[in-house]
């Protein structure tokens, strides 16, 4: 299990974070209850299973709902 | 393709704006050029249709994506409204609404970025790379994320310290302003600790990493600021829940209106008017801007709940030592009686050397190096002092109560001196040898410089009671209270008495209470009070336990913290009023007037969003008037 922090482009509406949260929760390998999207710092944080999920797929999923991922950190 | 469109939303907004301008231009020309009129409807509607289609693309995509995730977002409302306008062939409205929506989003993003700049200045201080010693003993540059605890790192002049670490070699001075707020560089030598995010101004240091990444003091501060900005008060959670149902509700109402009135124009106008934008964004914007301002002024307000409580403050309680005073007691005045003074002082030094009471330390410092004869039969009398035998003499060192207990006679002169010392706020240390008082010492702790002015400012900000709670004797406490102009002061209080006092104020007097005190001793009171503010150089403890963190435990930041909390709370209320007011205004306009249409609705709506953001941004410039 690893935890990821995605730095996103500036989020404009608090409801944007709802979309990103839903998109990440829909992915296999993401721990659903660890997903949190911060409106003020424009960051998405979540834990995931590195054997099931490729982090690039998470970036793609966020991109697909319309938000650019600027930087990804994994620990 | 979808990503391409979304990425170029701004460009699309400008293209659609240009097309709309073109359409109005041809309308203008049509008025003056005869014969142009026949072509007019095409020349006007053509660009409008194009603008609608281009502008609607990104909105449609966003709406589709959020619907797939079962979220009814504003995009959905706008999409339906635009489609409706298109169907009833009102191309002018569909074009203007899409344009305003996109352009508004663009402006909002730009201004919101500004509200976050305060924090950005902080995060940009984060170190990016480090020079790490590899197996060959050479130093190579690595990403700061790759540094582990125990790694040996090299920091050169002008570079940032990458992690919290211990100095193991070299010397230098470090500017720690980012962490402690102290702008004077601090000298470091082997054994000293250094913090991530501070800057080595001169010298070269070899350090061993002790804490890395988010565990460093710097990392935790940023984490806390971000958490604080995102934390939601009960009111905000209500708004969140509300807007979750609000948007679908608007959809249903618009549908019902459309079905019963058979007026599609009216139905889609309601869709646009109902957008909840300003309400949802108003409070978070104030929050982000207020906390951002604090972060750049050495004040961390932990979340909007804290801001709300702090802004309603009735009573502020202070611990004395180390909070209102410097915390370094010294002997301020002394008097000797009778003969054999030197013998008595030697014995006193010997006794005090074995004690770690703060008063004992002050006395010892004042006495200087002495022969220290052997001490025997030491007996500590709680709340009074020490009894001991030194070099064949019987000694009693302590307060007035101890002298009474020992049956030491005090002459009227001595009694007058004691009164005199106490009235000036001294804690007393009396020394009796072989049944006679030999020395009277007054130990005083200086009040922090500037603390009086800070208290005046707090009072001006509307704090009703400034109360000091201290374990010291009432005389000392009263003297300091007079000096500083406190409302009340209570002495002889143990930590549990202080906690009981806090509890009584909260439960019986229904006051909003802040407690400012030592992070260790006063932790029960800090936890009980609505707002706990821990002082003390142990930055870690202070940061973790405080609701309001003052960088470097700097008391003088307290008035700014309170003023900011009040301004932020006011700002939130203003934003809620603006948001709700605008929605009410729009709804009544659509019901009772005939000038309201979709475009004006969208304009007012986007305008109200900008209004709350700009209002929130005022907080970034907030500064307490002197």
Interface of chain B against chain A, CB under 8 Å?
A: 2-3, 6-7, 61-62, 65-66, 69-71, 73-74, 105, 108-109, 112-113, 116, 119, 145, 213, 226, 229-230, 240, 243, 277, 280-281, 284, 287-288
Quote the distance between the C-alpha of residue B446 and its chain's center: 28
Q: Is the pLDDT reported for residue B538 higher than 60?
A: no
The shortest CB-CB distance from B284 to any of A19, A39, A43 is to: A39
Residue B46 burial (CB < 10 Å; 0-12/13-18/19+)? Answer: middle
Mutate to test the interface with A, among B77, B79, B112 (most CBs of A within 10 A): B112
The tokens describing B488, both together, are 């009340």
Choose among B6, B113, B280: nearest Cβ to A15: B280
Burial label for B319, CB within 10 Å (0-12, 13-18, 19+), is buried
C-alpha span between B425 and B446 (Å, rounded): 10
Q: Which residue has the higher pLDDT, B279 or B403?
A: B403
Q: Is the C-alpha dihedral spanning B123, A36, A3, B148 positive or negative?
A: positive
The residues, any chain, with a CB within 8 Å of residue B196's CB and separated by 6 or more, are B126, B127, B160, B161, B162, B163, B164, B211, B216, B217, B218, B219
β-pairing verdict for B299-301 and B129-133: unpaired
Residue A48 Cα, gap to closest chain B Cα (Å) = 19
N- to C-terminal Cα separation, chain A: 9
Q: Which pair of tokens denotes residue B172?
A: 């230098």
- Residue of B151, B319, B417, B518 marked catalytic: B319
Closest partner residue to B109 (CB to CB) among A12, A19, A41 is: A12
**Among residues B438, B493, B447, which one has the least CA distance to residue B470?**
B493
Sign of the dihedral defined by the CA atoms of residues B503, B505, B507, B513, in that order? negative
Across the strands, what pairs with B394?
Answer: B389
Q: Which residues contact B559 (CB under 8 A, 6 or more apart)?
A: B454, B457, B458, B461, B624
pLDDT of B519 strictly over 80:
no
Beta carbons within 8 Å of B10's beta carbon, 6+ residues apart: B102, B106
Structure tokens at B473: 């004797």
Tell me: the pLDDT tens digits for A14-65? 667 778 888 898 888 888 888 988 877 788 889 999 888 888 888 988 888 8
pLDDT band at B182 (very low <50, low <70, confident <90, very high): low
- Per-residue model confidence as pLDDT tens digits over B423-466: 777 888 999 999 899 999 998 888 888 899 999 999 999 999 99
Which member of B65, B69, B105 has the closest CB to residue A12? B105
- Counting runs of H as helices and runs of E as strands, what totals does chain B give? 23, 20
d(CA B413, CA B419): 10
Please state, in angstroms and rounded to a whole number, the distance separating the CA atoms of residues B237 and B164: 37
Residue B440, Ramachandran bin (φ over 0: left; ψ between -120 and 50: alpha; else beta): beta
User: Contact, B172 vs B188, CB < 8 A?
Assistant: yes
> Burial, B411: exposed, middle or buried (Cβ in 10 Å; 0-12, 13-18, 19+)?
exposed
pLDDT band at B316 (very low <50, low <70, confident <90, very high): very high
Nearest CA distance, B613 vs chain A (angstrom) = 11
Kindly give, in sequence order, each residue whose CB lies less than 8 Å from that of residue B449, ignoring residues fewer than 6 positions away.
none
Q: Is residue B478 within 8 Å of B419, Cβ to Cβ?
A: no
Q: Is the pLDDT of residue B138 over 80?
A: yes
In Å, how far from its chain's centre is CA B536? Answer: 17
Query: Which secondary structure element, helix H or strand E, spans residue B264, and what is its range?
Result: helix B264-273
Is residue B470 classed as helix, strand or coil in its secondary structure? Answer: coil
* Cβ neighbours of B119 in A, within 8 Å: 40-41
Number of H helices, E strands in chain A: 2, 4
Please provide residue B386's backbone torsions phi and psi, each rounded to the nearest 5 degrees. -130, 140
Q: Which residues pair with B187 in a beta bridge?
A: B173
User: How is residue B330 written in tokens?
Assistant: 């010294």
pLDDT of residue B43: 78
**d(C-alpha B618, C-alpha B572), whole Å:** 12
β-pair partners for B341: none
Q: Which pLDDT does position B236 carry in this prediction?
A: 66
Q: Which of A8, A10, A15 is the mutation pick for testing B, counting most B CBs within 10 A? A: A15
> Rounded CA gap, B362 and B370, in Å?
15
Lowest mean pLDDT among A12-16, B164-168, B347-351, B479-483: A12-16
pLDDT of B569: 93
User: Is residue B258's pLDDT more than 60?
Assistant: yes
State the distance between the two ends of chain B, measured CA to CA, in whole angstroms.
Answer: 56
The percentage of residues in chain B with a pLDDT greater than 70, rounded to a whole number, is: 92
Q: What is the DSSP letter of B425?
A: T
pLDDT computed for residue B39 by the predictor:
63
Token pair of A8, please? 């996103």
Please state, rounded to an integer, the average pLDDT across all residues of chain B: 84
Q: Which helix (H) or strand (E) holds B201?
A: strand B199-211
Neighbours of B596 (CB within 10 A): 20
| Residue A68, min C-alpha distance to chain B (Å) | 8
Q: Does the beta-carbon distance from A19 to B119 stay under 8 Å?
A: no
Give the number of other Cβ atoms within 10 Å of residue B578's Cβ: 18
Closest chain A residue by Cα to residue B9: A66
Residue B541's pLDDT band, with cuts at 50, 70 and 90, is low
Alpha-carbon distance of B62 to A66, in angstroms, equals 7
The CB-side HSE value for B31 (13 A sphere, CA atoms) comes to: 5
Integer-rounded Cα radius of gyration of chain B: 35
The residue behind tokens 């409205």 is B93
Q: List pLDDT tens digits, range B567-598.
A: 999 999 999 899 888 888 887 887 777 777 88
Q: How many CB atoms lie within 10 A of CB B32?
A: 7
Residues B187-209: what's their mean pLDDT? 88
Per-residue pLDDT, B460: 92
CB contacts, 8 Å: B145 with chain A: 73, 75
Place of tokens 């009074």: B384
Chain A CB contacts of B2 under 8 Å are 64, 66
Confidence of residue B396 (pLDDT cuts 50, 70, 90): very high
- The answer to whether the CB atoms of B108 and A12 lie below 8 A apart is yes
What is the rounded distance in angstroms from the CA atom of residue B51 to the CA atom of residue B177? 52
Task: Please give, rounded to a whole number of angstroms, the shortest distance from the CA of B145 to a CA of chain A.
Answer: 9
Q: Is the pLDDT of residue B492 over 60?
A: yes
**Stated pTM of the model:** 0.75
Inter-chain residue contact A15 with B74, CB threshold 8 Å: yes
Contact B368, B362 (CB under 8 A): no
Catalytic residue flag (residue B319) = yes
Residues of A in contact with B113 (CB under 8 A): 10
Q: What is the pLDDT of residue B568?
A: 94
Q: Given A13, A41, A63, which is nearest B229 (Cβ)? A: A41
Of B61, B145, B280, the CB nearest to A13: B280
Chain A hits for B108, CB-CB cut-off 8 Å, are: 12
Q: How many CB atoms lie within 10 A of CB B165?
A: 29
Q: Which pLDDT score, from 0 to 100, does residue B283 have?
A: 82
Q: Are B608 and B579 in contact (CB under 8 A)?
A: yes
Residue B502, φ and ψ in degrees, nearest 5: -60, -45
The whole-number average pLDDT for the span B522-546 is: 76
């Amino acid at each position: 299990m690893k935890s990821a922090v995605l730095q996103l482009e500036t989020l404009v509406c608090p409801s944007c974070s709802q979309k990103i949260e839903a998109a990440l929760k829909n992915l296999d390998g993401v721990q659903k209850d660890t997903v949190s999207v911060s409106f003020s710092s424009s960051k998405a944080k979540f834990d995931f299973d590195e054997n099931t999920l490729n982090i690039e797929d998470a970036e793609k999923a966020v991109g697909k709902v319309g938000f650019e991922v600027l930087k990804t950190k994994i620990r | 393709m979808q990503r391409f469109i979304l990425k170029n939303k701004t460009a699309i907004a400008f293209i659609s704006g240009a097309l709309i301008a073109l359409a109005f231009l041809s309308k203008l020309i049509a008025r003056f050029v005869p014969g142009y009129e026949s072509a007019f409807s095409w020349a006007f509607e053509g660009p409008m249709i194009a603008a609608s289609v281009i502008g609607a693309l990104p909105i449609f995509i966003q709406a589709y994506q959020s619907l797939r995730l079962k979220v009814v977002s504003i995009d959905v409302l706008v999409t339906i409204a635009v489609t409706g306008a298109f169907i009833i062939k009102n191309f002018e409205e569909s074009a203007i609404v899409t344009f305003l929506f996109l352009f508004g989003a663009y402006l909002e993003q730009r201004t919101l970025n500004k509200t976050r700049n305060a924090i950005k200045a902080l995060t940009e201080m984060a170190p990016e790379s480090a020079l790490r010693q590899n197996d060959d003993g050479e130093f190579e540059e690595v990403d700061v994320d790759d540094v582990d605890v125990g790694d040996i790192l090299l920091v050169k002049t002008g570079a940032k310290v990458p992690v919290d670490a211990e100095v193991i070699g070299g010397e230098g001075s470090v500017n720690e302003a980012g962490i402690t707020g102290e702008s004077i560089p601090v000298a470091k030598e082997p054994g000293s600790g250094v913090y991530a995010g501070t800057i080595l101004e001169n010298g070269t240091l070899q350090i061993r990493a002790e804490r890395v990444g988010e565990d460093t003091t710097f990392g935790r501060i940023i984490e806390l600021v971000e958490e604080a900005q995102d934390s939601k008060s009960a009111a905000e959670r209500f708004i969140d829940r509300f807007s979750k149902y609000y948007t679908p509700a608007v959809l249903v109402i618009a549908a019902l209106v459309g079905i019963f009135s058979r007026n599609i124009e009216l139905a889609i106008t309601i869709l646009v008017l109902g957008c909840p934008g300003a309400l949802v964004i108003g409070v978070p914007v104030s929050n982000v801007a207020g906390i951002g301002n604090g972060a750049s002024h050495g004040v961390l307000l932990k979340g909007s709940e804290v801001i709300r409580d702090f802004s309603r403050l009735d009573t502020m309680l202070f611990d004395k030592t180390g909070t209102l005073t410097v915390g370094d007691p010294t002997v301020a005045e002394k008097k000797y009686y009778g003969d054999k003074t030197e013998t008595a002082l030697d014995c006193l030094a010997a006794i005090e050397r074995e004690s770690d009471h703060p008063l004992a330390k002050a006395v010892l410092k004042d006495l200087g190096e002495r022969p220290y004869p052997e001490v025997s039969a030491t007996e500590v009398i709680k709340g009074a002092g020490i009894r001991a035998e030194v070099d064949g003499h019987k000694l009693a060192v302590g307060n007035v109560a101890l002298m009474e207990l020992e049956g030491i006679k005090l002459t009227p002169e001595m009694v007058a001196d004691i009164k005199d010392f106490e009235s000036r706020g001294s804690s007393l240390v009396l020394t009796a040898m072989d049944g006679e008082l030999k020395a009277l010492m007054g130990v005083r702790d200086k009040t922090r410089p500037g603390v009086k002015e800070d208290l005046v400012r707090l009072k001006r900000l509307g704090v009703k009671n400034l109360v000091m709670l201290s374990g010291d004797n009432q005389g000392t406490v009263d003297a300091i209270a007079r000096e500083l102009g406190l409302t009340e002061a209570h002495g002889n209080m143990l930590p549990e008495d202080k906690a009981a006092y806090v509890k009584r104020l909260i439960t019986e007097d229904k006051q909003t209470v802040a407690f400012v005190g030592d992070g260790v001793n006063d932790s029960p009171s800090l936890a009980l009070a609505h707002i706990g503010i821990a002082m003390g150089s142990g930055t870690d403890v202070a940061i973790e336990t405080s609701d309001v963190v003052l960088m470097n435990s700097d008391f003088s930041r307290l008035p700014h913290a309170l003023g900011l909390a009040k301004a932020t709370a006011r700002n939130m209320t203003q934003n809620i009023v603006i948001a709700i007011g605008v929605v009410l205004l729009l709804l009544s306009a659509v019901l009772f007037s005939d000038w309201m249409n979709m475009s004006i609705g969208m304009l007012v709506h986007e305008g109200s969003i900008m209004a709350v953001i700009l209002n929130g941004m005022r907080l970034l410039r907030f500064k307490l008037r002197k």
